[in-house]
């Protein structure tokens, strides 16, 4: 494991309105837990949980406080995927290795957030560091994270989704310069994780999850592939909830307009 990175812990989606995004994802058949709020910042999130990973939707809940530049991101890019968190079981070792490899990072931070359960708030704890944007070109924004209290966010009732979703297989996006991004990804993820093609890259982490980046005139993260237990069950739910989709064999696609600026693909196949 390069930098101790084990998996895609969670993609991050930027939202203009968390209440509206909650309604969108519940219509798509996801169980959306109560909102979380970052203690140190003016941002909040919805964390849609799966057994081994999750999806974070992040929005601004107090614009008078520091928003980790989310306001600037929304103004420039609008809603949609804005980055990815890679998971590790030893973030201190990952941080030390990142510094050895010459990756520019901020400090290693210990953070908590309020998780607004109806029966009372809890405060999940985690440690992370964030490589500079230039060192993670193509992925927009990256953190490497270790969860210290995973039991507080991965309750059994949060893992049961009416659409049968059980995890995240893949993220997809575009990059402008394949060779330059490949060099940066090798330093971040290791040579074995980076497969370079003339027209793009495929990044594979030890969990088998992938990030595919295709060459284009503009760069950005665009879509995700979600793994479901039964595609027919997912199809029935989308039909019942009047959600438009396209089914092509073993894959179903929902447009970005129905999922906070992110195209969603559903498949029964595992990652890799």
The C-alpha atoms of residue 184 and residue 258 are separated, in whole angstroms, by 33
The C-alpha atoms of residue 4 and residue 246 are separated, in whole angstroms, by 38
- Residue 230: count of CB within 10 angstroms of its CB: 11
The C-alpha atoms of residue 32 and residue 103 are separated, in whole angstroms, by 35
Name the residue among 149, 126, 131, 148 with its Cα closest to residue 95.
131
% of the chain at pLDDT higher than 90: 78
> Where does the pLDDT of residue 262 fall: very low under 50, low under 70, confident under 90, or very high at 90 and above?
very high
CA angle 261/263/269 to nearest 5° reads 150
Dihedral over Cα of 256, 262, 267, 272: its sign = positive
Q: Could you give the domains of the chain?
A: 2-158 (3.10.180.10), 165-267 (3.10.180.10)
Examine the pLDDT at 118 and tell me if it is beyond 80.
no
Quick: pLDDT tens for 151-183: 878 889 899 999 999 999 999 999 999 999 999
Quick: pLDDT tens for 100-117: 989 998 899 888 777 777
- For residue 85, how many C-alpha atoms fall within 13 Å in the half-sphere facing its CB? 22
Examine the pLDDT at 99 and tell me if it is beyond 70.
yes
**pTM attached to this predicted model:** 0.95
Q: State phi, psi for 142 to the nearest 5 degrees.
A: -130, 140
- List the structure tokens of 233: 């069950």
User: At a CB cut-off of 8 Å and minimum separation 6, what does 52 contact?
Assistant: 7, 167, 207
What pLDDT is attached to residue 154?
84
> Where does the pLDDT of residue 124 fall: very low under 50, low under 70, confident under 90, or very high at 90 and above?
confident
The mean predicted confidence, pLDDT, of the chain is 93
Quick: pLDDT tens for 196-242: 999 999 999 999 999 999 999 999 999 999 999 999 999 999 999 99
What pLDDT is attached to residue 1?
64
> Where does the pLDDT of residue 88 fall: very low under 50, low under 70, confident under 90, or very high at 90 and above?
very high
Q: Bridge-partner residues for 44, per DSSP?
A: 37, 59
The C-alpha atoms of residue 85 and residue 169 are separated, in whole angstroms, by 14
What pLDDT is attached to residue 41?
82
> Where does the pLDDT of residue 36 fall: very low under 50, low under 70, confident under 90, or very high at 90 and above?
confident
């Amino acid at each position: 494991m390069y930098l101790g990175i084990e998996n895609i812990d969670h993609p991050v989606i930027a939202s203009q309105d968390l209440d509206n995004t909650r309604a969108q994802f519940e219509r798509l058949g996801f169980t959306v837990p109560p909102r979380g709020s970052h203690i140190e910042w003016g941002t909040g999130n919805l964390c849609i949980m799966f057994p081994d990973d999750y999806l974070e939707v992040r929005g601004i809940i107090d614009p008078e406080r520091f928003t980790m530049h989310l306001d600037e991101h929304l103004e420039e890019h609008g809603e949609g995927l804005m980055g990815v968190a890679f998971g590790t079981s030893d973030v201190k070792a990952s941080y030390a290795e990142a510094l050895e490899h010459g990756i520019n990072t901020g400090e290693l931070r210990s953070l908590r957030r309020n998780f607004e359960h109806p029966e009372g708030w809890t405060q999940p704890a985690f440690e992370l560091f964030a490589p500079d944007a230039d060192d993670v070109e193509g992925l927009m924004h990256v953190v490497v994270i270790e969860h210290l209290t995973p039991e507080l966010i991965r309750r059994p009732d949060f893992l049961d989704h009416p659409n049968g979703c059980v995890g995240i297989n893949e993220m997809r996006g575009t990059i402008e310069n394949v060779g330059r991004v490949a060099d940066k990804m090798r330093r971040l993820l290791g040579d074995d994780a980076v497969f370079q093609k003339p027209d793009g890259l495929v990044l594979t982490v030890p969990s088998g999850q992938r990030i595919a980046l295709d060459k284009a005139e503009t760069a950005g993260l665009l879509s995700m592939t979600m793994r479901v237990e039964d595609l027919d069950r997912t199809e029935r739910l989308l039909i019942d909830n009047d959600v438009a989709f396209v089914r092509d064999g073993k894959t179903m696609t929902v447009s970005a307009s129905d999922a906070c600026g992110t195209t969603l693909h559903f498949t029964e196949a595992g990652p890799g």
